[in-house]
Amino acid sequence: MKILVVGNGGREHALTWKLSTDSAAPEMFCAPGNAGTKQIATNLPIQADDIDGLVKWAKENQPDLTVVGPEVPLCLGLTDKLEALGQKVFGPSKAAAQMEGSKVFSKEIMEAAGIPTAASKSFTSPDEALKYAENAKIPCVVKAEGLAAGKGVIICETRAELLDAIKVTMLDKAFGDAGNRMLIEDFLKGEEASILALIDGENILMLASSQDHKRIFDDDKGPNTGGMGAYSPAPIVTDDLWPIIKKDVFQKTLDELKKRGITYKGVLYAGLMIEKKVPFVLEFNCRFGDPETQVVLPRIEGDLLPAFMACAEGNKLTDDILKWKDEHAVCVVMASGGYPGSYQKGKVIEGIEQAENEKSIVFQAGTKNINEQIVTNGGRVLVVSSLGKDLPDAIKNAYSSIKNINFDGAFYRKDIGAKGLKYTN
């Protein structure tokens, strides 16, 4: 059996790792992969956004399943092109991927379906946005309309910050073409949680909850990043919230998409703000979250592949297709100095093997091999993921492991999981 995983980050290393342990013993391929996936799969010299190159390889090699990690190839229609060849793909169609590819489309779906979300207004003219900002509610949130690698969101606590965020997004093009259109949203208070759900077009299978840490520094200070760490489960998602989230977030979304002739298959990520037991949707993503994947997948007991195949084939998901370990998980991201701004690459990484043990695994994100050495090749370099009997134990294991790893300029947050500790007393 052949499986192709598309992408080159920590999420893709985690997906490749989990699928490689499946009882079906699949032969794994990654396009393009990284230094971590190279150890458990065949890396292919094809970039994740090279749709023609990926289709050509799939046509020639006939994988039994293609798992698309990042949002860009999904939004470019990779699933549609592979399915047109009769191939099985885990990942939504181009139309369904608009849930992440267009924040305006996603907001329209939420509003039409009656899903709790922040009020917002969209703009294509910077002058109109700046005029609106003069009387906008403060605090508020500015969001680039398109794909911005998880960084196109700016929280504005003063009017001056709002004006600056509009200029950065629409005039300075800090997020490229993603900022050609933008949203100004009301600011929601509460505590965030990430919920991933597998969907086969009809059935919804909720995965374990998690909580991401977006800001670069401890105590949620500094600019947003792609994510500096996560923990699972997230205690803010109490047992009584699960049926509400399934019905009022996921089911309503699927129903509204179906009204528009769109069938969703793959994973759907809901970023939630939970306030007074009400889950408000901050955003939808059309793929696994990164770094949430690195705490959710290690908690799955046994095979993941049957669930992915059920989604790809359609209408075959069952509630008992996945089993879960009775353990908590924490992951901590090691980043390059300067991230999320400019940073240097090519720094030699030492200590990965020493950091791994029966409770900890190191997922590689921004790495590559040069002269038999693993070196840095991105902003988020490594993700140290650890299990524990409870949250404090998982935190202890993660930070104990991360101390073994070194590279020039490395830094990481020291408070991943701390928000969850208040629920353990």
Averaged pLDDT of the chain: 95
User: Is 70 exceeded by the pLDDT of residue 150?
Assistant: no
- Rounded to whole angstroms, the Cα distance separating 77 from 3 reads 19
CA distance readout (Å), 55 to 29, 64, 91: 14, 14, 15
Strand partners for 332:
229, 384
Contact indicator for 328, 232 with CB cutoff of 8 Å: yes
What's the pTM? Answer: 0.93
What the chain holds in terms of domains, given with CATH numbers, is 2-91 (3.40.50.20), 125-180 (3.30.1490.20), 191-324 (3.30.470.20), 328-421 (3.90.600.10)
pLDDT 10s digits, 174-193: 888 888 888 899 999 899 99
DSSP-assigned letters across all residues of 364-405: ESSEEEETTEEEE-SSEEEEEEEEESSHHHHHHHHHHHHTT-
Query: Based on the number of CB atoms within 10 Å of its own CB, is 189 exposed (0-12), middle (13-18) or buried (19 or more)?
Result: exposed
User: Is 90 exceeded by the pLDDT of residue 308?
Assistant: yes
Note the pLDDT of residue 422: 87
When computed from its CA atoms, the radius of gyration of the chain, rounded to whole angstroms, is 20
Taking residue 418's Cβ as centre, other Cβ atoms within 10 Å add up to 15
Note the pLDDT of residue 153: 85
Q: What percent of the chain has pLDDT over 90?
A: 84
Taking residue 206's Cβ as centre, other Cβ atoms within 10 Å add up to 18
